[in-house]
Amino acid sequence: MDIKVVNGIESVVVENEFASAVISLLGGHIISFVPKGKKDVLWMSSKSAFVPGTAIRGGVPVCWPWFGDKAPELPKHGFVRNEMWYLRSHSDLPDGSSVVTLEITDKDVKFATPEFPFTLQMTFYIGKHLEMTLTAINDGDVPVTAPAALHTYFAVSDISDVKVYGLENVRFSNRVAGADPALQSESAPLAVDREIDRLYVDTAGTVTVTDAERTIRIEKCGSNTSVVWNPWIDKSAKLPEFDADGYLHMICVEALAAFDDTRVLHPGVPVSITQKISVEE
C-alpha cells in the first residue's frame, strides 16, 4: 500500500496478489478496483475534475448525511463526498488481501456546516472481492436520522447488452415519472434502453449485472433499499463532469438506507451499510 497523488489528490494505492485499487482521500472515494487479469469493475468519467469541494463523478461516491436533494443551497447527496478524508489505518492480511480504513469527523469538514457531531469511516477490503463498509457514529447527545448510500458506478461493455437480475417482482418507485409515483414491479430482469431511476424497496437480496463480458455480483447488508440508475442520452448531456457517451458504459446499483429505510443514529452507537462486489467471467 502506498500514498500517491492520483488526479491531483492524495490517494491510497493498493496492489496485492488478488487485485489493485485506488482510493481517493477526496470523498473517501474508491475510484478503481481491478481484479488480477481483469478489467476495472468501476466506471469513472474522464471529465471528473477532482477538486476538493466538488464530488467525484464515478467510482463509489459516499452519500451522507442525506440522499438526493435536501435544499437548493446544499450539495446533492450530502457533503462528505466533497470533503477530504484521512487515512485511519491499513493492513495486509495473512491471505494476501488488504484492508484500508478512511475517516472524517465533523471537525474535518471545510465545505459545509455539520448539523451534529459525528465520526464517519469507510473501510475497504481489497481481495478476491471488494467489500466496502460505511460506518457512522453520532458523537452528540441526542438521536438523529442520517440517510446513507454507496452510490456505486459499475463499468459495463455496452449498456444494450446489460441485464440486471435479482430485482424481479420487487416493488419499485419509478423516479423518472415524478417525485412520488405509485409502486410497481416487473417479472422480467431489467434491461436498459431509456433513462432508468428506480428505487426498489424492501429488498436486501443479491443483485447481478451481466453484460457480454462478465457478471458482477452485488451483495449488501444494512440496507433494505436499492437504486438502479442510468441517465441515458438527454440527462447525460446535462450532468456536470459526465462523458457524453458515458451512459453506454455504466450502470449504478446503489445500496441505500434512506427514505422509509433511513436509520436512526443513537449517541455512540455505530450504524453501518456494506456492499460486497465480486466478478464472474
- Asked if 85 and 65 touch (Cβ cutoff 8 Å), the reply is no
Mean pLDDT of all residues in the chain? 96
For 224, the grid coordinates are 433494505
Asked if residue 31 has pLDDT above 90, the reply is yes
Q: Which of 127, 95, 159 is nearest to 279 (CA)?
A: 127
pLDDT value of residue 262: 97
Mean pLDDT of 205-212: 97
pLDDT value of residue 122: 98
In this predicted model, what pLDDT tens digit does every residue of 232-251 receive, in sequence order? 999 999 999 999 999 999 99
- Specify the DSSP class assigned to residue 52: T
Q: Which of 105, 93, 94, 150 is nearest to 275 (CA)?
A: 150
* φ, ψ (nearest 5 deg) of residue 101: -125, 125
Q: Which of 20, 10, 14 is nearest to 41 (CA)?
A: 20
Which percentage of the chain shows pLDDT scores above 70? Answer: 99
pLDDT value of residue 177: 85
Q: Model's pTM, two decimal places? A: 0.97
Domain 2-280 falls in which CATH fold? Answer: Beta-galactosidase; Chain A, domain 5 (2.70.98)
Asked if residue 147 has pLDDT above 80, the reply is yes
- Asked if 195 and 235 touch (Cβ cutoff 8 Å), the reply is yes
pLDDT value of residue 179: 63
**Looking at the DSSP assignment, which residues form a beta bridge with residue 34?**
20
Lowest mean pLDDT across 30-34, 208-212, 277-281: 277-281
Report in angstroms the alpha-carbon separations of 272 from 36, 50, 57: 29, 27, 23
Asked if residue 181 has pLDDT above 80, the reply is no
Q: Which residues are known to be catalytic? A: 151, 254
Mean pLDDT of 168-195: 92
Q: Which residue has the cell 424497496?
A: 201
**Cβ neighbours of 62 (radius 10 Å):** 27
| Boundaries of every domain in the chain | 2-280
Lowest mean pLDDT across 28-32, 70-74, 171-175, 243-247: 70-74
In this predicted model, what pLDDT tens digit does every residue of 250-265 receive, in sequence order? 999 999 999 999 999 9
Asked if residue 21 has pLDDT above 90, the reply is yes
What element of type H or E holds 89? strand 86-92
Asked if residue 100 has pLDDT above 80, the reply is yes
What value, to the nearest 5°, has the Cα angle with vertex 279 and ends 274 and 281? 165
Asked if residue 22 has pLDDT above 80, the reply is yes
Asked if residue 168 has pLDDT above 80, the reply is yes
